[in-house]
Amino acid sequence: MSLLATPDECAARGRAARREVPRRALSQWLPASDRPDPVDVLEAQAASRVPELVPLRYQRMLTSRFAFFRGAAAIMAGDLASIPQTGITVQLCGDAHLSNFGGFGTPERTLVFSLNDFDETLPGPWEWDLARLAASVEVSGRELGYRRAVRQDNVAATVRVYREAMRTFATMRHLDLWYTRLDADQIQQLLFARGDKQAVRTFEKTTAKAHAKDSMRAMNKLTREVDGSLRIVGDPPLIVPVEDLVDGNTQEIEDWVRRILRGYARSLRSDRRALLARHRYVHLARKVVGVGSVGTRAWVVLLLGRDGADPLFLQVKEAQASVLEPYVGKARQRNHGQRVVEGQWLMQAASDIFLGWMRAEGIDGKARDFYVRQLWDWKVSAELETMRPAAVHSYGELCGWTLARAHARTGDAMAIGSYLGSGDKFDRSMVTFAEVYADQNEHDYTALEAAAREGRITVAPDPVARTDVVVAPS
């Protein structure tokens, strides 16, 4: 149905979807009899990644069950495809777990809260993103040692806020919805209203940390002067300067990156292209990022403007096919970097002024897609491992509201709101699904452990390994 349908037609569509796919049906997931081996799914992904970094990816995924969940988007995509679908499509994040939300700076220099990872974005069924978010609340709660009742309450709160927000967004003018966003001041006011003084203090520290996280901070942390020139400091295997790479000579790689930057500049708006042109290339390093992304090709590029006190750090990250593609079809964009960027533009409250894309042939002769953004621009994520149950409850609500806003901007909010309804039946279904899927996640984690123990996969030590979440009293 067209997004230009009348409100009555959209509401009718939601009610029809509810008859076709009852809300309780979304809670009744069971692993398919022909469900692929989860290790095979991960190994298939590894085939297109930097070989020497794949063992590091496995190490990070084995750090905890929540870390495994973060890296297992491809596994869950196949599982979600086995659930009956409502047929109501939105732009999906594709990997909407708790750690893929966070704060960042807008071009107007306001700190906002939104989704912050779009590597898997594609149009698809809205319920897939919400199911992954709900499951992440349950999985993280188990790692934190929360009681079952606490976990259920946190999942229910996340889904309830999504449902209520979606029904509110369905009543808004499109322009008002487009301008709606959640900034730091609004979050602080919510915490004050709840009277949680500890949460307020933690939030104030977090916002201060975010404001300090910019290119100047990156320069102080990541570089040093060598023979009168700034150089990115190596910390292998996490950061490897271009001159220390073994798969090509330095000049060849640096020339390649310069070509990438020229191609990328063409994807920028003209004013931002002009701003980029005022910076010159200085140095380059390969950088390991995230959990699920480990092994994809990612670079940090240092550029300077007026002088050594005018740095710009860009992250150049490979964009591969979305894990959703086998189930929802190929992207309309021919370039996966463009797919990521355009999905981010659609879903995010505001976007980095240097967000862009390109395709480039690597020094190995293979063409690959990339997207580019600033390395640090007030970016901050929640430290789940330090959160009390009440804080996770509030954080889940923020994520639920944010996901609803992203979906409402790109899909039929009236139909989704009509499907969800005003009661808590859908919320309870998602609580059940989250528990069932968290059980499956534990089985899959155990399978990866066994594969490592039996030598089926190679696991490398991570010099900065830590548990993503630790046991805390509930």
Condensed to tens digits (0 to 9), the pLDDT of residues 382-407 reads: 888 888 888 899 999 999 999 999 99
More confident residue, 156 or 111: 156
Report the share of the chain in percent with pLDDT over 90. 70
- Give pairs for 351-357: CB < 8 Å, separation 24+: 352/104, 352/377, 353/107, 353/272, 353/275, 354/268, 354/272, 354/276, 354/312, 354/314, 356/264, 356/265, 356/267, 356/268, 357/264, 357/267, 357/319
Q: Give the mean pLDDT of 89-94.
A: 98
Q: Give the mean pLDDT of 429-436.
A: 97
Question: Per DSSP, which regions of 309-394 are E strands?
Answer: 311-318, 356-361, 367-374, 380-381
State both tokens at 138.
């349950």
User: If pLDDT is split at 50, 70 and 90, which confidence band does 254 have?
Assistant: confident
Q: Give the mean pLDDT of 183-203.
A: 79
Q: How far apart are CA 269 and CA 282, in angstroms?
A: 23
CB of 142 within 8 A of CB of 154? no
CB of 418 within 8 A of CB of 28? no
Q: How far apart are CA 442 and CA 65, in angstroms?
A: 7
* Segment holding 399, helix H or strand E: helix 389-410
More confident residue, 45 or 2: 45
User: If pLDDT is split at 50, 70 and 90, which confidence band does 466 have?
Assistant: very low
pLDDT of 462 strictly over 60:
no
Q: How far apart are CA 243 and CA 250, in angstroms?
A: 5
Report DSSP state, residue 37: P
Radius of gyration over every alpha carbon of the chain, rounded to an integer in angstroms:
22
Q: How far apart are CA 134 and CA 305, in angstroms?
A: 44
Q: What is the dihedral of CA 70, 75, 81, 83, to 10 degrees?
A: -80
More confident residue, 75 or 229: 75
Q: Give the mean pLDDT of 19-42.
A: 94
Q: What is the pLDDT of residue 309?
A: 87
In the block, tokens 């490592």 appear at 452
Q: What is the pLDDT of residue 15?
A: 94
Return the SS3 of 474.
coil
State both tokens at 319.
């964009």
Q: What is the pLDDT of residue 86?
A: 95
Q: What is the dihedral of CA 134, 138, 141, 146, to 10 degrees?
A: 120
Q: How far apart are CA 156 and CA 423, in angstroms?
A: 12
How far, in whole angstroms, is CA 331 from its chain's centroid? 18
Residue 26's nearest CA partner among 470, 372, 473, 420 is 420
Q: How far apart are CA 69 and CA 71, in angstroms?
A: 5
* Helices 54-61, 38-46: inter-axial angle, 10-degree rounding: 150
CB of 242 within 8 A of CB of 142? no
In the block, tokens 């079809």 appear at 329
Q: How far apart are CA 73 and CA 77, in angstroms?
A: 6
Residue 56's nearest CA partner among 265, 300, 238, 301 is 238
Q: How far apart are CA 227 and CA 421, in angstroms?
A: 66
Q: How far apart are CA 102 and CA 203, in angstroms?
A: 12
Return the SS3 of 357.
strand
Report DSSP state, residue 384: G
Q: Return phi, psi of residue 182, to 5°.
A: -115, 110
In the block, tokens 């430290």 appear at 383
pLDDT of 473 strictly over 60:
no
Q: How far apart are CA 5 and CA 10, in angstroms?
A: 6
User: Which pTM was predicted?
Assistant: 0.93
What is the number of residues in the chain? 474
Report the share of the chain in percent with pLDDT over 70. 95
User: How far apart, in Å, are the Cα atoms of 350 and each of 122, 211, 263, 379, 430?
Assistant: 19, 16, 23, 13, 29
In the block, tokens 């469900």 appear at 35
Q: What is the pLDDT of residue 465?
A: 46
Per-residue buried b or exposed e for 369-379, using 16+ beta carbons within 10 Å of the residue's own CB: bbbbbbbbbbb
